[in-house]
Chains A and B, each alone.
Chain A
Amino acid sequence: MKNEADIVIVGAGAIGSAIARELSRYDLDVILVERNEDIGGYASKCNSATLCSGHDAPLNSLETRLTSASNRAYEEICKKLDVSYKRTGMIYVAHNEEELVRLRAIKKKAILNGEYNAETLSKEKVHELEPSINPDIVGGLLIPNEAIVDVMELLLAFVENAMDNGVTLMLETKVTGINTDPVDHHVVSVSTDKGDIKCKFVINAAAIYADALAKSVGFCDYYNYPRTGQFYVLDKNLPYAPKHIVVPLPTPISRGRLLTPSIEGNLLVGPSADNMTDREDTKTDKETLDSILKDCRKMIPAISPMDSVTQFCGVRPAIYPKTDWRIRAIDGCKGYIEAVGINQGISGAPGVAKYVAEILDDEGLEMIEKKNWISERKAIRRFAKMTEEERDAVIRENPKFGNIICRCETVSEGEIIEAIHKGPGARSVDAIKRRLRAGMGRCQGGFCGPRVVEILARELNVSPEEICKNEKGSEMLARENRK
């Protein structure tokens, strides 16, 4: 195990991954540490996959500035990193006069937050843009800069690009604390369940576990708690699926229920927003799912649970007391930098990463840009998206692409093998699913599951009983049959 670095980043969610990529520009020795078996943390890999414009964030906040800076940069970033991105825009729908008044306030704030083209929509215009929206609505508001992204591909792209530029990724490594010098309290190392890592700087991007890490250096004036969000995932090609993100007026704690088209053509319906205590409990429940459906049908009445491919629950890293994003160096603990209390981390990640690099510079870290920094990265070529000629060519090059493993999403063995060996390689069934969609389709892995387990075991050179759905403890199989 590598046990020394200039900088240790704790947490490979959106924020940690983006910081790793940003710092890979410089001649620095960086280690990115993640407790789970795959990158993506808890919240980042499991959400609505939208890129917010920052139009609804608090005025003059770091949150707004970094989100809108990132929003402007994202199209270019996604192009460089070969990540699917689409500026769909977002439509708020108002059901009565009172909501129309609230929409005006949202528009005013949006303009102040940089959404110059925020546009009030008449009822007719709303229906022209989205014919399946409830005929009972009275008007709407268009926020053109809201976008959607292939979120797992984006996270992979950050980490892969960072790794290509020399960053070390350590998966399944739990940081247990930060160690400081007893005299002047500067950071000397981090402790992990796999041993200590000596370092000058540690960046706390541990999201929902940020408070525990902060406590270990004695500077913690907040605590984190989970706020879960349940979703339905609906099938592709539904006649009523909107092209824009469609939202109601926000609630005091969240954006409310969204209808979000996904990059792959599914429709996401949700989320809920429930404060919980167990940070890893992502169960769904009937009452919540029923209420999501009821609320969303107010926006698009045709939505049907019969079209549901799956339901899931993600967890947001909420923080108390709620303040602006805490991205800062701490006086009295030289070398400890935190990037915590961040909601909608994906939307703001590139901005946060640049800002953190500036903080490091301020803190006296020598930042010399690499001459040969690689700014681009290529995604695995997806068989499902190729033309017949491209498929023919790629199979002739590697026959494994001619072996279709996931029939619902048309994923080939060639892609699965690549995903296992590329960058932060997939080690679990879920990791394959998140990278390639194998098992995300209508049969939910019924057909490809046994085959994916076989391929993982073969490529990782372990027995099938060791293959997990995700983390250790989630083994797919009990044992071999009786002899």
Chain B
Amino acid sequence: MSNSEYKYDVAVIGAGPAGLAAALAAKKEGAEKVVLIERDFRPGGILEQCVHTGFGLKYFGEELSGPEYAYRFIKKCEDKRIEMMLNTMALNIDGANRVIHAVNQNGAVQIKAGAIVLSMGCRERTRAQIVIPGSRPAGIYTAGTAQRFCNVQNHIVGREIVIVGSGDIGMIMARRMTLEGAKVKAVVEVMPYLAGLTRNRVQCLDDFGIPLYLSHTVVNIEGKRRVNRVTVAKVDEGRQPIKGTEFDIDCDTVLLSVGLIPENEVSKSAGVELDPVTKGPLVDQNMMTRTPGIFACGNVVHVNDLVDNVSTESEIAGDSAAKFAKGTLKGADNEISVKPGTLVRYMVPRFIEAGGVERETKMYFRVTEPAKNVTIEAKNGEETLYHSRKKFVNPGEIEHIQIAADQLNRLKGGDIVVNVIKDEEAR
């Protein structure tokens, strides 16, 4: 066989923010040969098209643009001589032998690794998935596609815009398109609350006078060759359109910002077990999946709202992958499940190996609905492991708790259940 074969201690799939942080952490932990496999012509992932600021406030303590944030990591990777296999597409993984099958312009390549980190990110949900009826003309894009056209390929996709969904990319693009001279006529959100961050509503919609319609949805798209109109209707509590509330908005473009889905086709090929709620791999406190030696981090696990959190979480994955490759990753047989309880949609990580926990563990989650004045608690049987109060929680903003390593290592069995309890229920 003429295919090229490579061997590495740690191989990272995807050189976006998650992959870059994981590769650096692996190198820092002593993995000698680390490689980043990236399908694009340059590292940085989606950050390269996020030319707006707002990145790095938590991680670097300063406000950076997407490319600036990425560059700090890319520079370090170059300094540390982490290999970058660019223009290379990982197609599938032999999970048992940890061999990545990829292609690039030189041919088919096989990358055998001591440990693999999955950091492929996520993709946007489409019109078809939310089933908006009507015609199928040009002018319907996901917000991220319009962002790529605008910020990478230097073209604006339309002049009069309606945005479906109040996700962060949608709101960011509302501002971006306005700055490019387009008229953003409405942002339409089916839920009674915002899907993205409040700060984006203020900075991207309110500051530009762009109307936000909560509890509304687009029920029809018209236009033969290019979009020329959408019909919007108010929805009831069951999210069904209310007859008689319809109104039309003339526009040539519909942008969709209706959620992100972790991109796990390659993970599935490796046999990695996925969480049906997040659609990302089930991971433990080391970000290891249920397939030994395969780790996952960033939006491929669960969709984050801040890149800063992705970097932090990915460092754990990279560090653990390096240890696994060296054979120094502490294992333990005492597996404890971390389960979403009241008002909690999912938990990451979903498993803790009590006895093998090396650091204070952050557990991330999202709530199922907005709530005011809540208690956040983590319980193992009757024992309370964590307790805090919060004025406001929102599905659009990720929450976390942290529990000390010795506290987790002490656990004998049972589950950890995380609940968010509203005040009136406590009474």
- Nearest B residue to A284, CB-CB: B133
Instruction: Tell me the complex Cα distance, A312–B180, Å.
Output: 33
Q: If A282-B136, A446-B126 touch, does A392 touch B39 (CB 8 Å cutoff)?
A: no
User: B138 contacts which of A286, A305, A468 (Cβ < 8 Å)?
Assistant: A468
Which of A366-399 touch B at CB < 8 Å? 388-389, 391-393, 395-396, 399
CA distance A464 to B376 in the complex (A): 52
Which of B138, B141, B265 counts the most chain A CB atoms within 10 A? B138
Q: Which of A283, A286, A305, A313 contacts B219 (CB 8 A)?
A: A286
Query: Are A477 and B157 in touch, CB under 8 angstroms?
Result: yes
Q: Which of B145-153, B201-209, B323-331, B419-427 contacts A (4 or more CB under 8 A)?
A: B145-153
**Interface assignment of A450: CB less than 8 Å from any CB of chain B:** yes
Interface residue B96 (Cβ < 8 Å from any Cβ of A): no
**Distance in Å from the Cβ of B149 to the closest Cβ of chain A?**
5
Cβ–Cβ contact A480 & B39, under 8 A: no
Is A316 among interface residues, defined by CB-CB distance under 8 A?
no
Task: Tell me the bound Cα distance from A473 to B265 in angstroms.
Answer: 36
**Does B104 touch A at the CB level, under 8 Å?**
yes
Residues of B within 8 Å of A473, CB to CB, are 224-226
Q: List chain A residues, Cβ under 8 A from B103.
A: 391, 395, 402, 404
In the bound complex, do residue B180 and residue A447 qualify as a contact, i.e. CB atoms below 8 Å apart? no
Q: Which residues of B contact A476 (CB under 8 A)?
A: 138, 157
How many Å lie between the Cα of A403 and that of B133 in the bound state? 34
Given contacts A407-B39, A477-B156, contact A450 B219 (CB under 8 A): no
Q: How many A-B residue pairs have CB under 8 A?
A: 155
B153 touches A454 (CB 8 A): yes
Is the Cβ of A450 less than 8 Å from the Cβ of B159?
no
Is A280's beta carbon under 8 Å from chain B? yes
Is A449 part of the binding interface, using a Cβ–Cβ cutoff of 8 Å? yes
Asked if A111 is an interface residue, CB under 8 A from chain B, the answer is no
In this assembly, does A191 line the interface, its C-beta being within 8 Å of a C-beta of chain B? no
Verify if A474 is at the interface (C-beta below 8 Å from B).
Answer: yes
Q: Is the CB of B128 within 8 A of A444?
A: yes
Determine how close the nearest CB of chain A comes to the CB of B2; give it in whole angstroms: 6
A residues near B123, Cβ cutoff 8 Å: 442-443, 446-447
Docked-complex contact B141 and A474, CB < 8 angstroms:
no
| A471 close to B (CB within 8 Å) | yes
Residue numbers in A under 8 Å from B135 (CB-CB):
281-283
Q: Does the CB pair A285–B133 fall under 8 Å?
A: yes
Pairwise interchain contact B134-A283, C-beta atoms closer than 8 A: yes
How far, in whole Å, are A273 and B137 apart by their CA atoms in the complex?
A: 22
Tell whether, in the assembled complex, residue A446 and residue B124 are in contact, meaning their CB atoms are under 8 Å apart. yes
Q: Which residues of A contact B44 (CB under 8 A)?
A: none
* B134 touching A392, Cβ below 8 Å: no
The answer to whether B137 and A469 have CB atoms under 8 Å apart is yes
Decide yes or no whether B158 CB sits under 8 A from chain A: yes
Secondary structure of the A contact surface, majority rule: mixed
Interface residue count on the B side (C-beta < 8 Å): 54
Counting CB contacts under 8 A, is A329 at the interface? no
**B154 within 8 Å of A by Cβ?**
yes
Do B3 and A392 touch (CB < 8 A)? yes
Find the B residue at minimum CB distance from A448.
B145
Q: Which residues does chain A contribute within 8 Å of B128, judged by CB atoms?
A: 308-311, 444
Q: Closest B residue to A283 by CB, please name it.
A: B135
The residue on A at minimum CB distance from B151 is: A481
User: Are A481 and B141 closer than 8 Å at their CB atoms?
Assistant: no
Residue B277 CB within 8 A of the other chain: no
Assuming A310-B128, A404-B89, is B225 touching A471 (CB within 8 A)?
yes
> Could you tell me if B105 and A450 are in contact, using CB atoms closer than 8 angstroms?
no
B136/A308 in contact, CB under 8 A: no
If A305-B131, A446-B123 touch, does A478 touch B106 (CB 8 Å cutoff)? no
Residue on B nearest A280 in the bound complex, by CB:
B224
A482 to B126, CA, bound (A): 28
The answer for the CA separation of A23 and B33 in the assembled complex, in Å, is 63
Contact indicator A403/B87 (Cβ below 8 Å): yes
Report yes or no: A407 in contact with B89, Cβ–Cβ below 8 A.
yes
Tell whether, in the assembled complex, residue A389 and residue B1 are in contact, meaning their CB atoms are under 8 Å apart: yes
Q: How far is the CA of A291 from the CA of B103 in the complex (A)?
A: 44
Q: A286-B133, A475-B138, A481-B180 are in contact. Are A444 and B127 (CB under 8 A)?
A: yes
Residue of A nearest to B149 (CB): A450
Task: Point out the residue from B126, B137, B155 that lies within 8 Å of A480, measured CB to CB.
Answer: B155
Q: How far is the CB of A284 from chain B (nearest CB, A)?
A: 5
Task: List the B side residues contacting A465 at CB < 8 Å.
Answer: 155
Chain B 136-179 interface residues, beta-carbon cutoff 8 Å to A: 136-138, 141-142, 144-145, 148-150, 152-159
Q: List 8 A-B contacts (CB under 8 A).
A: A282-B136, A286-B131, A289-B131, A305-B131, A311-B131, A474-B138, A480-B155, A481-B156
Q: Top 9 closest A-B pairs, CB basis?
A: A473-B225, A469-B138, A399-B105, A392-B108, A474-B225, A402-B105, A310-B128, A474-B138, A404-B89
